[in-house]
Structure 1
Amino acid sequence: MFKKTIHYTFILILGICGAVYGQGNTKGNETTYKNELNKLVERANKLSNDSLLLIVKEFNALHTEYQDQTSLVYVALCKANYEHLKANHVGAMRNALDALNMAHKYNVKEPIPSIYMLIGNLHKENTNYPMAFESAGKALQVAKVNKDTIRIIAAMGLSAMFKRGYVRHFGLSIAEDSSIYTQFEALKLAESSPKYERERVSFYHNIAQHYKDMKDYDKAIMYAQKGIALATTLNKKRSLTYGYCWLGEAYYRKGNRELGTKYIEKAISISKEIKQPYRTMELYETMANCYRSSGDLKKAIPFMDLYLEVHDSLNVQTNEKLMGELQIKYESSKKDKDLALMQQADKLKSRQMTWLIGGIIIFMVLCITLVYFYTIILKKNNTLNDKNKKINEQASKLQILMQELHHRVKNNLQIVSSLLTLQSNRMMDNDARQALDVSRQRIEAMVIIHSSLYQQESASNVDMKGFLPELLRSILESFDVDADKMDINTEINISDIDVDIAMPLGLIMNEWVTNVFKHAFYQINHRPALTINILQIANEIQLEIKDNGIGMPLKIWENPTGTFGIKLMKVLIKQINGKSTILNNNGTTFILKIPNASLIPTI
């Protein structure tokens, strides 16, 4: 008994430690992965709206092959850009926040400025300028930390564009617009090296827009033409819609209306080609405003009708914009709080682990102490076997002491279970909390066995008919499951089982039934059902556990890499010389046969 109790205690300790630390991540060749990732990122920066979903599949395939979380950040970012270009602002914001959360969680720094810039654009397009400026500032700050000149240039340009939009939205004087100085500062940086050539296009167009609004049409035309030439060379079609728009509007307001409308129509044609409905809507409004400025209302009205038609089709309504702003603010706040909690959890992790290790040490000392006293009692019992007169009295006393021992073991195990529960409630890390909950449930199984031992006349046999309902009750409470909402059937034709068999058998049942509630009944559409039979067949104990869940792949049982519960079951099965079988048919059936056991049949 001493050796076996120590054995189970050691296995249990391994379970606690293994559950906390047993996490691994297989990666491929790091250099090859980074090269392939960089190529995909470079392609994604050049793709049109239709192709973004195709590149998402390639990022997912890269993640599947190398098991690196960086690819998932770019998956979410590509989805966010796709939804943004479709004018689905809420969907774009959700994906952008997912990308930001994963980037911070997995310490993927490079795409963070791009994510913040996209979030800023979404806020700006919903006229939430305070949050737009905040996001642009964060993008610039992170880009500087990363020493990423390209994104520094982009963030400066974005900030200038927001300033420009703020002045226009609130009807301020153009003289109050200081964004042009930021535009020229960023353009100077972009023109400092040929490798930043791609970043210059947006600045040429933004400067052209500024001069157009200032009615300096010659400078507006000059910068628009520079932007168009470079965008054509680089095949940046969305940028061309801005270049041709400002070029056309400058010519129109300068007096060359035929040439002006020709360029704006070309911008509309390109925006339709690349399927940019929000951009097309803006160009319809520009064309309508041009005709209206020259008093040609007959031509202005059709374009205003087209603007309103696209406007309505995109659900760009005032009340919906307000709802989008509220949701965006809520989600942004929630993500910031989550990140703060993650940082706090990292600081507390070492303290929590100290408490966990202390609890394990206390548990070991209690077990060793109790086993020591149990051994002394057995030795004293052996010395009294030769005395006929006192044998019955000593046997009775020994029985009482044994029952008290099991009672105290049960109480001490319950104390350890309570300590683990308290520690679990204080943990911020979900994996550590789950590890403690699994360990606590294993201890609860041992508590039930010791409870059965001290309640019976025999202190070495476990009443399986009393043990099984208590075990099921404990597991149902652990998973907060109502027994009336599922079908549970049991059949037991064995009265008592020796504790040397009952202890590992109880732990095996606990592990399997726990896994059933964790995995088998996950997202099933029918009423859960569980059948447990403990039968004496010939000279064997046969345990059968059957569920109607989703089924367990046999490869998980045969090769349980990283699955401590299954490894624990296999060790215990080997300990009692058992043989197990797994069947998959409308659920999973686990069959365990234990040969040559000392059985007491039911009468």
Structure 2
Amino acid sequence: MFKKTIYYAFILVLCLCASGYGQGGNTKGNEAAYKKGLNDLVTQLRRLNNDSLLLIVKNLNDFHAVYQDQASLVYASLGQAHYEHLKANHVGAMRYAINALNSAHQYNVKEPMAEIYMLIGNLHKENTNYPMAFEAAGKALQVAKLNKDTLRIIGAMGLSAMFKRGYVKHFGLSIVADSSIYTQFEALKLAESSPKYERERVSFYHNIAQHYKDMGDYDKAIMYAEKGIALATALNKKRSLTYGYCWLGEAYYRKGNRALGTKYIEKAISISIEIKQPYRTMELYETMANCYRSSGDLKKAIPFMDRYLEVHDSLNVQNNEKLMGELQIKYESSKKDTDLALMHQASELKSKQMQWLIAGIIIFMLLSSTLVYSYNVIRKKNKTLNDKNIKINEQAEKLQTLMQELHHRVKNNLQIVSSLLTLQSNRMADDDAKQALDVSRQRIEAMSIIHSSLYQQDNANMVNMKEFVAVLLSSILESFGINRDKIDVSVEITIDDINVDVAMPLGLIMNEWITNIFKHAFKNWEGRPSIVIAISQTATSIQLKIKDNGIGMPQSSWDNPTGSFGVKMIKMLIKQIAGLPNILDDNGTTFELEIPLITTK
């Protein structure tokens, strides 16, 4: 496989030379094939080892010397940068990458720009310079989209997710702050859309495995790690195997099978040494040390930490970070991305809304401003009480009363808006407009129910879910004019109170989904309608399940809700609370939602 790849690359360059590209009038006929060859070649650069990279770079430089072709010069610099990166010479890699980027801008060679930015981002991330890493990943995605380069779009999305993940781990943030898993699944879906992106799936399997491992869901971590290892083995992606075996080993170790766990991590170390990846070897030494340290086996942890520090010092990581940052800042200050700005073509979409909807939003914004002002007044009063040294218990009681009053006012104001929408709806002759007003009123009614529960509770930050669901169901049935005796409703709630930060979006999600059931699931449907609503809690998450026996919801309606504002709103609210949804279409529709519990370090 190795010799075949070298032969391919060498023959490709010879063919390009023989084609006469760069020799006067013959260039136009071969330009498309030549550019495609270079673009394919940069993909090969990412798959070759250190020695083969030097051969490719030499051939590209020879081609440039003979034909003075600037594109081959850009790719040669990029290939040299990859070589220095694999050798853990991060400062040298950054110099060649900046040189490649400068040449690409100067000669308007667009195709490799995304690849260059991804390498620059990787170099910054590996030296913990996350601000510059995020900036480079964003530029890579922007260029890839402008070039309509799906392969690099997938790569840039994966890189951005990896940087988010590294940022959370590096600064010791709560796992709840990590939103990279959504980007990982989104990019994986794109990679699985065509067989030609098969190689790109490996890193996503491994990154998802790492996420579940850190979440403590070791079974899922093992499942995704094994999928990645199987594909990486088939494709001979040895560097990727170091990640797969690492996450697999950590998952087994922390699950309790320490012997199997250390066996897989040692296998990852062996592969990283074999392919001459000192930086990756350093990371794996630290992983092994951390595993032993987590189980209190300091005697075994110390040798691996010593090896980690030895490689860390030899690579001069801290000085690399400073030098690389100075290199890119110097380049960015002089260039200011003028050429990239010229490539940008934006399109704006404008939509018109009905006057009654605009008026409703304005009224709601005015009411919200009043409530914010009232809340600020309450905070100032509390500060005054603190300045006067009133006892903590007295402050808590007064704050509780004020918060309850605030929720009472919110509830009253929301009911006013609901009443206004009801009056407007009654005057509407257009059925679509009337239905839109009714749906908006029901959403406001759902928020009103939550605030009503808050001001009646002893703790003004907690919502009683049993009471909320009972009132919400009655409100929805009443709005649709449905008799409770005409439908089977089963409510199974084993959790009492939920914090308002979760309860508010969760309540709106339930309102939207149940409303959609009555609007669509039982439309033109014969039989006795049935709905099951269940809310429970585990040690790590809150579980919601809503099942109906209606006509069923196609998966496409969930994946691409082009005409459904309700589904779009549900997805937005799910993302707000970091939830993981699941839709099942079997004798009706089952909606499942897992919401991770917020923890603090």
Q: TM-score, normalised by structure 1?
A: 0.50
1:285 corresponding residue in structure 2:
286
CA distance in 1: counterparts of 2:66 and 2:152, whole angstroms: 29
1:252 corresponding residue in structure 2:
253
1:222 corresponding residue in structure 2:
223
2:188 corresponding residue in structure 1:
187
Q: Is the 8 A contact 1:191 1:200 kept in 2?
A: yes
Q: Is the 8 A contact 2:127 2:317 kept in 1?
A: no
Q: Deviation of residue 62 (structure 1)?
A: 2.8
Code of the aligned partner of 1:131: M
2:74 corresponding residue in structure 1:
73
Q: Deviation of residue 334 (structure 1)?
A: 3.9
1:460 corresponding residue in structure 2:
none
Q: Deviation of residue 322 (structure 1)?
A: 5.2
Q: Deviation of residue 126 (structure 1)?
A: 2.3
CA distance in 1: counterparts of 2:220 and 2:214, whole angstroms: 11
Q: Is the 8 A contact 1:211 1:219 kept in 2?
A: yes
| SS across alignment from 2:69 | coil
After superposition, the Cα gap between the structure-2 partners of 1:153 and 1:169, relative to the gap in structure 1 and judged at 3 Å, is same
| SS across alignment from 1:295 | coil
CA distance in 1: counterparts of 2:161 and 2:339, whole angstroms: 33
**Kindly, what percent of the aligned residue pairs are identical?**
78
1:482-524 deviation per Cα after TM superposition (whole angstroms, max 9, x unaligned): xxxxxxxxxxxxxxxxxxxxxxxxxxxxxxxxxxxxxxxxxxx
Q: Is the 8 A contact 2:249 2:263 kept in 1?
A: yes
CA distance in 1: counterparts of 2:75 and 2:305, whole angstroms: 38
1:84 aligns with 2:85: yes
After superposition, the Cα gap between the structure-2 partners of 1:83 and 1:331, relative to the gap in structure 1 and judged at 3 Å, is farther
Code of the aligned partner of 1:300: A
1:434-488 deviation per Cα after TM superposition (whole angstroms, max 9, x unaligned): xxxxxxxxxxxxxxxxxxxxxxxxxxxxxxxxxxxxxxxxxxxxxxxxxxxxxxx
CA distance in 1: counterparts of 2:339 and 2:154, whole angstroms: 32
2:177 corresponding residue in structure 1:
176
Code of the aligned partner of 2:103: M
Q: Is the 8 A contact 1:89 1:324 kept in 2?
A: no
1:165 corresponding residue in structure 2:
166
Structure 1 residues not aligned, in runs of 5+:
1-23, 345-603
CA distance in 1: counterparts of 2:33 and 2:148, whole angstroms: 24
Q: Is the 8 A contact 1:79 1:95 kept in 2?
A: yes
CA distance in 2: counterparts of 1:333 and 1:34, whole angstroms: 27
1:128 corresponding residue in structure 2:
129
2:323 corresponding residue in structure 1:
324
Q: Deviation of residue 42 (structure 1)?
A: 3.8
CA distance in 2: counterparts of 1:181 and 1:129, whole angstroms: 19
Segment drifting more, 257-266 vs 46-55? 46-55
CA distance in 1: counterparts of 2:23 and 2:107, whole angstroms: 13
Q: Is the 8 A contact 2:125 2:163 kept in 1?
A: yes
1:71-117 deviation per Cα after TM superposition (whole angstroms, max 9, x unaligned): 11111101111111222221111111111111111111111001111
1:206 corresponding residue in structure 2:
207
| SS across alignment from 1:160 | helix
After superposition, the Cα gap between the structure-2 partners of 1:325 and 1:35, relative to the gap in structure 1 and judged at 3 Å, is closer
| SS across alignment from 1:115 | helix
Code of the aligned partner of 1:331: K
1:43 corresponding residue in structure 2:
44
Q: Is the 8 A contact 1:204 1:224 kept in 2?
A: yes
The structure with more radius of gyration: 1
1:593 corresponding residue in structure 2:
none
| SS across alignment from 1:107 | coil
Code of the aligned partner of 1:96: A
1:400 corresponding residue in structure 2:
none
After superposition, the Cα gap between the structure-2 partners of 1:220 and 1:245, relative to the gap in structure 1 and judged at 3 Å, is same
- 4+ long deviations beyond 4 Å: 24-29, 339-344
CA distance in 2: counterparts of 1:343 and 1:156, whole angstroms: 21
Code of the aligned partner of 1:274: I
Q: Deviation of residue 244 (structure 1)?
A: 0.4
Q: Deviation of residue 293 (structure 1)?
A: 0.9
Structure 2 residues not aligned, in runs of 5+:
1-21, 343-601
| SS across alignment from 1:109 | coil
Code of the aligned partner of 1:254: K
1:232 corresponding residue in structure 2:
233
Code of the aligned partner of 1:89: H
Q: Deviation of residue 257 (structure 1)?
A: 0.9
| SS across alignment from 1:141 | helix
After superposition, the Cα gap between the structure-2 partners of 1:343 and 1:161, relative to the gap in structure 1 and judged at 3 Å, is closer
After superposition, the Cα gap between the structure-2 partners of 1:181 and 1:50, relative to the gap in structure 1 and judged at 3 Å, is same
1:276 aligns with 2:316: no
CA distance in 2: counterparts of 1:37 and 1:165, whole angstroms: 32
Code of the aligned partner of 1:323: K
Q: Is the 8 A contact 2:91 2:320 kept in 1?
A: no
CA distance in 2: counterparts of 1:97 and 1:62, whole angstroms: 21
Q: Deviation of residue 66 (structure 1)?
A: 3.8
After superposition, the CA RMSD in angstroms is 2.2
Code of the aligned partner of 1:55: I
1:372 corresponding residue in structure 2:
none
CA distance in 1: counterparts of 2:223 and 2:269, whole angstroms: 21
CA distance in 2: counterparts of 1:163 and 1:150, whole angstroms: 20
Q: How many residues align?
A: 318
CA distance in 2: counterparts of 1:34 and 1:167, whole angstroms: 39
2:119 corresponding residue in structure 1:
118
After superposition, the Cα gap between the structure-2 partners of 1:230 and 1:335, relative to the gap in structure 1 and judged at 3 Å, is farther
Q: Is the 8 A contact 1:25 1:67 kept in 2?
A: no
After superposition, the Cα gap between the structure-2 partners of 1:343 and 1:312, relative to the gap in structure 1 and judged at 3 Å, is closer
Q: Is the 8 A contact 1:101 1:335 kept in 2?
A: no
Q: TM-score, normalised by structure 2?
A: 0.51
After superposition, the Cα gap between the structure-2 partners of 1:282 and 1:31, relative to the gap in structure 1 and judged at 3 Å, is same
Q: Is the 8 A contact 1:33 1:66 kept in 2?
A: no
Compare relative contact order (CA 8 Å, sep 6+) and give the higher one, 1 or 2: 1
